[in-house]
Amino acid sequence: MSILIINARVVNASGESAAACDIRIDNGRIERMAPQISRNGEQIIDAVGKLVLPGFIDLHVHLREPGREDKETIATGSQAAVKGGFTSIFCMPNTTPAIDTAQVVQYILDQARKVGLVNVYPVGAITKGRAGVEITEMMDLRRAGCLGLSDDGRGLMNAGLMRRALEYARMSGLLIMQHCEDETLSNKGAMNESAVSTLLGLKGDPLVSETVIIARDIELARYLSARVHFMHISSARSVELIRRAKAEGVPVTCEATPHHFALTEDLVKTFNTAAKVNPPLRGWDDVAAIRAGLKDGTIDCIATDHAPHTQEDKEVEFDAAPPGLIGLETAFGLVVKELVNPGILTMAQVVERMSGAPARIMGLESKGVIAAGKDADIVIVDMNREWTVSREDTVSKSKNSPFLGQRLQGRVVATICGGRVVYEE
Amino acid sequence: MGDWTHKHLLDLQDVSREDIELVLDTARSFREVSEREVKKVPALRGRTVAMLFAEPSTRTRVSFELAAKRLSADTLSIQAAASSLTKGETILDTALNIQAMNVDLVVVRHQASGVPQMLAAGTKMAVVNAGDGCRAHPTQALLDMFTIREKLGRLDNVKVAIIGDILHSRVARSNIAGLTKMGAKVTVCGPSTLLPIGIEEMGVEAVYDINRALKDADVVMALRMQKERQQQSFLPSVAEYVREFCVTADRLKKARPGALVMHPGPTNRGIEIAAEVADGPQSVILEQVTNGIAIRMAVLYLLLGRKV
Does residue B54 lie in a domain region?
yes
Catalytic pick among A151, A152, A300, A305 = A305
What is residue B229's predicted lDDT score, i.e. its pLDDT?
86
> Picking from A253-267, A297-311, B164-178, B216-230, which range would have the lowest pLDDT averaged per residue?
B216-230
- What's the pLDDT at B87? 58
**Angle formed at CA A308 by CA B113 and CA A235, multiple of 5 degrees:** 65
Q: Rounded to 5 degrees, what are φ and ψ at B109? A: -125, 130
- Residue-wise pLDDT tens digits, A227-262: 999 999 999 999 999 999 999 999 999 999 999 999
Tell me, what CATH number does A400's domain have?
Answer: 2.30.40.10
> In this structure, is residue B40 part of a structural domain?
yes
CATH number, domain of B54, equals 3.40.50.1370
Whether residue A326 is predicted with pLDDT greater than 50 in this model: the reply is yes
The answer to whether the Cβ–Cβ distance between A317 and B135 falls below 8 Å is no
**Domain span at B117:** 12-136+289-307
pLDDT digits (tens, 9 = 90+) for A367-402: 999 999 999 999 999 999 999 999 999 999 999 999
Phi, psi of A194 (to 5 degrees): -170, -175
Q: How many angstroms away from the CA of A403 is the closest CA of chain B?
A: 19
Q: Is A152's pLDDT higher than 50?
A: yes
Look at residue B7 and tell me if it is in a domain.
no
The region of weakest confidence among A395-404, B69-78, B81-90 is B81-90
Shortest Cα distance, chain B CAs vs residue A281, angstroms: 17
Residue B1 belongs to a domain: no
Does residue B25 sit in the same domain as residue B80?
yes
| B131 and B159 assigned to the same domain | no
pLDDT at residue B212 above 50? yes
In a domain, B2, yes or no: no
Judge: A204–B197 Cβ closer than 8 Å, yes or no. Answer: yes
Phi, psi (degrees; rounded to nearest 5) at A200: -85, -10
A200 in contact with chain B, both atoms CB, cutoff 8 A = yes
Confidence band, pLDDT 50/70/90 cuts, at residue B306: low
Q: Which amino acid is at A340?
A: V
Residue A345 neighbours by CB under 8 Å, 6+ apart = A294, A295, A335, A339, A353
DSSP 8-state assignment for residue B194: G
Interface residues from chain B to A (CB-CB < 8 Å): 13, 83-85, 90-92, 110-115, 117-118, 132-136, 170, 173, 196-199, 201-202
For the segment B174-199, the average pLDDT, to the nearest whole number, is: 97
Under DSSP, the state recorded for A123 is P
Whether B60 is a known active-site residue: answer yes
Residues A403, A313 within the same domain:
no
Residue B1, pLDDT above cutoff 70: no
Which site among A188, A192, A199, A270 would you substitute to test the B interface, given the most B Cβ atoms closer than 10 Å to its Cβ?
A199
Based on the domain organization, do B43 and B173 belong to the same domain?
no
Exposed/middle/buried for residue A339 (C-beta within 10 Å: 0-12, 13-18, 19+): buried
Query: What was the pLDDT predicted at B86?
Result: 61
Choose among A201, A203, A271: nearest Cβ to B173: A201
Backbone phi and psi for residue B42, each to the nearest 5 degrees, phi listed first: -85, 20
Select from A199, A317, A318 the Cβ nearest to the Cβ of B202.
Answer: A199
Assess whether B95 and B168 both reside in one domain: no
Q: How many domains does chain B have?
A: 2
pTM of the model: 0.94
Task: Closest CB to A315: pick one of B90, B112, B201.
Answer: B90
Q: Verify whether the Cβ–Cβ distance A315 to B92 is below 8 Å.
A: yes
Looking at the structure, do residues A247 and A303 belong to the same domain, yes or no?
yes
pLDDT of B307 above 60 = no
Task: Please give the residue range of the domain that contains residue A148.
Answer: 58-362
B117 and B177: one domain?
A: no
Q: Are residues A31 and A67 in the same domain?
A: no
In a domain? residue B234: yes
Chain A contact set for B138 (CB, 8 A) = none
The CA-based diameter of chain B, rounded to the nearest angstrom, is 55
Task: Answer for the pair A82, A91: CB distance below 8 angstroms, yes or no.
Answer: no
Q: Are residues B153 and B233 in the same domain?
A: yes
Q: How far is A72 from chain B (nearest CA, A)?
A: 21
User: Which of B91, B170, B199 faces A317 most closely, judged by CB atoms?
Assistant: B91
Regarding whether A326 and A201 lie in a shared domain, the answer is yes
Task: Name which of A259-268, A385-394, B36-45, B247-256 the model is least confident about.
Answer: B36-45
Chain-chain contact of B117 with A198 (C-beta, under 8 angstroms): no
* pLDDT tens sequence across B221-252: 999 998 888 888 899 999 999 999 999 999 99
d(CA B143, CA A242): 52
Predicted local distance difference test score (pLDDT) of residue B308: 39
pLDDT digits (tens, 9 = 90+) for B179-188: 999 999 999 9
Q: Please check whether residues B274 and B184 belong to one and the same domain.
A: yes
A305 catalytic? Reply is yes
In angstroms, the CA B44 to CA B38 distance is 16
Please report the pLDDT score of residue B228 as a whole number: 83
CB-based contact A51:A13 (threshold 8 Å): no
CA distance A136 to A121: 17
